[in-house]
A and B are shown apart, each in its own frame.
Chain A
Amino acid sequence: MEGTPLFTFLYHYGLGGLLFLAGMLLAWRAGALEFSTRSQRVWVIVLLVGLLLYLAGHAFFQFFT
């Protein structure tokens, strides 16, 4: 499987996703994510949507072209 477009994609989003997740979890544990304020909730959504947009864009060109 190594060397296939799928493996490459999983490597990028697997390791990168771990870093992203670590950032979100560390922020939450440290209290930097205050879900009580609307602004902070919006930024969590923006971060997740941004990740999904990149993932969808890369997936489109990686698998459907």
Chain B
Amino acid sequence: MVVIYFLAILGFGAFFGRYTKTTKDFFLAGQKFSWWLIATSCVASLVGSYSFVKYSEMSFKHGFSGTYGYLNDWFWMPFWILGWLPIIYFTRTTSVPEYFERRFGRDARAAATVIILLYMIGYISINLVTMATALDPLLGWGKFNLAVIVAVICAIYVTAGGQTSVIMTDLAQGFLLLIAGVAILFLGVAYVGGWQSFWNALPGSFKHALPNFAADPNFSTAGVFWQDGMANSAAFWFMNQGIILRFLSAKSVEDGRKAATATLLVLMPLAAIAVCDAGWIGRAMVNLNLGQIPADVDPRQIFVVVTERICRPGVFGLVLAALTAALMSTIDTLINAVSAVTVNDLYRPYLARNRSDRHYLAAARWISLAAAGLGVALYPVFNQKSLYVAHGAFTAAITPPMVVAIVLGMAWRRYNRWGVLATLIGGALAIFASFARPGLLSPFRIGAVGDEYIRAYYGLVVCLVLGVAASLLSRRPEPQRLAGYVWGPQRALMRMFKGSEPNLAKGEVAACTTQLDEQLAEGTVRAPASAMRTMQARPGDLVLVSRPGWWHGGVLAAHARLGEPLPDGEPMRIPRDVLAQLSIPEGRTAHVEKIF
């Protein structure tokens, strides 16, 4: 089953390579995807290879509050939905370092590029290590062999299709994850004798949504709130390059917002249940003396123990495939993200300026292969506990500075170059210092909460203070650094993106027959006047031309700009580059939707 799964994903991902012709396609998938496709693929990326094992363990020990880490992101959404997404989308910013250069200057970009690349390359290796550790006991293929197999498969399809392949394979893997998780829940509930029996087998405190306040050093509301809810959730939405690229692949800001909303309100809760339910079932089985699970079973093994008992061989294969899906969907996102940062923030500005897009696309593909290769090469290094811990410390040290720098940069006009350097460098040094001198954390301690959680609280406060103080003590930023890069009216951002006044009149999708026009400029279409009236559109407006049908989610679509209207009854004139992306012959009907 796992071998079939590997081959299917490889073929599926490589198939979408045919739609990748430019660097915009490779990194942003042409910015044409529908919200539902982005949301479902996003779920697969956020469920890591360790999630099933880790969250089952936490849920076995702590109950329903094991989901807490998955369900505490919403507080950041005003900043993200109303601020960060429109800023990066409309200013055509493709990475955090690029944003830093435009907002603060070249040195801020260099600092951010180094930090993000170190973090992501290490993270590829760590994901390979955790995947191999989780899967090897089940498959027996050897840890390093598993790491190589998965890295090679991901590298092949990411290199072929870039972001489009990542999104399409993650879509399939997202469904697989959720189906496997739901299957475990229903099979488990049936195993323990039905819903009533399952519910009654769990003690009352086990059903609380939030863990103890600050009594447990390793899992408490106060600790998880600061480390996961504040630092890591913000890092996921604002700093994670893979997630940034994913949402920039949406056909519009509105679709990006819908995707984030669907992810957080529907799919994240489902994913939380999917990764936690083996722990709940395990607890019910122990309490009911079912399945011969001893009360002192190692919680780290509970996922495997429960799934082995409740799943028949075929379903167990599905669970193994879901575990693998969780890993591959995280690694492919990271490989594409490393390639994007390396090409856009290192190769293009410093190593090979003013080359053709074709050249940068080739470079992006080579870098994708190299990123996967480096991840495997570093496997033995990160397989040692000391380096694994060191990367954890590095992540803890860089997350608060990056998060504070992005949020202040976006939300506070007074924040400047000195402020961001103080935040990034001073903040990271202060956090590293707290490893050597844990006494620095003392003013921030809450009950028995462990240092790794309190360090996030300390880091966020120190970075905020450093950034604000350094900005106030130095000159105001130049006005040209602010336009479009700090919170402001969305209409101004749309004007910047479009190059003229946005047309916000609400129209309908128009259906037009197509006619190839070799004379038209690339990316321009001419629609009949009746279609323009249906869309409430004017010449110069941005539109999405797509093949009819919701099922392709935007894969068979292209952005274009409207030219002068044609007389009623004429077919829509369409250039070759747009027609090619729709994959329809001339004369067939296409849908046209005004963006603004």
Contact = CB atoms under 8 A, between A and B. Distances in A.
B313 interface: no
B82 A33 contact: yes
Contacts of A46: 261
B510 interface: no
Contact of B488 (A30, A47, A53): A30
Interface stretch (B70-78, B119-127, B376-384, B472-480): B70-78
Contacts of B204: 65
Contacts of B221: 8, 11-12
B260 to A, nearest CB: 10
Contact of B254 (A8, A26, A39, A47): A39
Nearest to A24: B78
B487 A50 contact: no
A62 B487 CA distance: 36
Contacts of B214: 2-3
Nearest to B446: A11
Nearest to A1: B213
* Secondary structure dominating the interface of A: helix
Contacts of B208: 5, 61-62, 65
A16 B261 CA distance: 18
A65 B212 CA distance: 16
B257 interface: yes
A61 B244 CA distance: 33
A20 B78 contact: yes
B490 A32 contact: yes
A47 B81 contact: yes
Given A16-B229, A26-B487, A61 B209 contact: yes
Interface residues of A, number: 41
Contact of A8 (B210, B261, B264): B210
Nearest to B202: A65
A32 B381 CA distance: 46
Looking at A17, A26, A37, the one whose CB has the most chain B CB atoms below 10 A away is: A26
Contact of A32 (B71, B82, B230, B265): B82
A48 B74 CA distance: 10
A54 B207 contact: no
Nearest to B73: A54
B460 to A, nearest CB: 11
Contacts of B388: none
Given A9-B210, A62-B208, A20 B74 contact: yes
A34 B213 contact: no
Looking at B72, B209, B257, the one whose CB has the most chain A CB atoms below 10 A away is: B209
Contacts of A34: 489-491
Interface string A40-65: 10010011001101100111111001
Interface of B: 64, 71-72, 74-79, 81-83, 86, 204, 207-215, 221-222, 225, 229-230, 254, 257, 261, 264-265, 269, 411, 447, 486-491, 504, 506
**6 closest Cβ contacts across the A-B interface?**
A23-B78, A30-B487, A65-B207, A61-B209, A16-B75, A58-B209
16 contacts: A2-B213, A2-B214, A5-B208, A12-B210, A12-B225, A17-B75, A19-B76, A20-B77, A23-B83, A24-B78, A26-B78, A27-B487, A32-B487, A32-B489, A50-B265, A57-B269
